[in-house]
Structure 1
Amino acid sequence: MTNSSVTKLTDNEMILFFKNKNISLGLYSEKELIFFLKNNTYFFKLISYRKTFPYENNKYSNLSVDALIDMSTIDMQLRYIFLKICLDLEHSLKTQLINEITFNTDDNGYTFLNNFIDSTNNPRSTRRKLLKMVKRTDEALYEKYQENLPIWVALECSEFAWTESIIRFYIASHPTSALAKLRVRRPDGQQDITLLTYVRNIRNKSAHNSIILNRITTAVEESAEIPNASNITKTFVSKAHVSNNSSRKKLRIPVILDMTTTLAIYDNMVSSHEMKKRRYTELKQLMLRIKKNKQYYKKNNSLTSIYNYFNQLVNYLNLHS
Structure 2
Amino acid sequence: MDNNRKLSFDEQVEWLEDHNVNIKDVDRCKYYLKQKNYFYKLIGYVKRFNGDDKKIIDSFEKLIDISTLDMELRYCLLPLCLDIEHWIKTYILRIVTNDPNEDGYNIVNQVINSDTNPEDFKRKLFSSVSYYDMNQEFVIQPEYDGFYHNPPIWIILEISSIGKLRSFIKYMSKQRPGNKDLFQINNSIKYINKLRNSCAHNREILTEDIYSNYNSRIPHNIYTSLRNDNFSKAQLYKSLFLKITLTLKLHKRLCSNETHLHRIMELQEWIKRTQRFQEFYRTDDIFTIFFSDVKNIVNTYK
With the length of structure 2 as denominator, give the TM-score of the two structures. Answer: 0.85
Which one-letter code corresponds to 1:311 in the other structure?
A: K
Task: Output the CA distance in 2 between the equivalents of 1:286 and 1:67.
Answer: 17
| Residues 85 and 161, structure 2, Cα contact 8 Å, conserved in 1 | no
CA RMSD of aligned residues (A): 2.8
| 2:194 equivalent among 191, 201, 205 | 201
Q: How many residues align?
A: 293
The answer for the alignment partner of 1:172 in structure 2 is 174
The answer for the alignment partner of 2:287 in structure 1 is 303
| 2:256 equivalent among 256, 272, 278 | 272
| 2:35 equivalent among 34, 39, 55 | 39
Deviation at 1:61, TM superposition (A): 5.4
Deviation at 1:151, TM superposition (A): 0.7
Gaps of 5+ in 1: 185-193
Aligned pairs (5 A) from 1:1-321 = 6-26=4-24, 29-50=25-46, 53=49, 55-57=51-53, 60=55, 63-104=58-99, 106-133=101-128, 142=144, 145-182=147-184, 194-220=187-213, 222=214, 224-228=215-219, 230-231=221-222, 235=225, 238-239=228-229, 241-242=230-231, 247-268=232-253, 270-318=254-302
Task: Output the CA distance in 2 between the equivalents of 1:234 and 1:206.
Answer: 27
Which one-letter code corresponds to 2:65 in the other structure?
A: D
Which one-letter code corresponds to 1:43 in the other structure?
A: F
Deviation at 1:147, TM superposition (A): 4.8
**What are the superposed Cα offsets for residues 21-73 of structure 1, whole Å, 9 maximum, x if unpaired?**
332224xx21121111111212132132235656545x625721111101111
| Residues 96 and 104, structure 2, Cα contact 8 Å, conserved in 1 | yes
| Residues 51 and 215, structure 1, Cα contact 8 Å, conserved in 2 | no
Task: Output the CA distance in 2 between the equivalents of 1:134 and 1:209.
Answer: 23
Task: Output the CA distance in 1 between the equivalents of 2:183 and 2:172.
Answer: 12
**What are the superposed Cα offsets for residues 102-137 of structure 1, whole Å, 9 maximum, x if unpaired?**
21452111111111121112223333443454568x
With the length of structure 1 as denominator, give the TM-score of the two structures. Answer: 0.80
Gaps of 5+ in 2: 132-139
| Residues 48 and 207, structure 2, Cα contact 8 Å, conserved in 1 | yes
Deviation at 1:159, TM superposition (A): 2.8
Task: Output the CA distance in 2 between the equivalents of 1:173 and 1:227.
Answer: 24
Identity of aligned residues (%): 28
| Residues 236 and 264, structure 1, Cα contact 8 Å, conserved in 2 | no
Deviation at 1:18, TM superposition (A): 3.0
The answer for the alignment partner of 1:188 in structure 2 is none
| Residues 195 and 243, structure 2, Cα contact 8 Å, conserved in 1 | yes
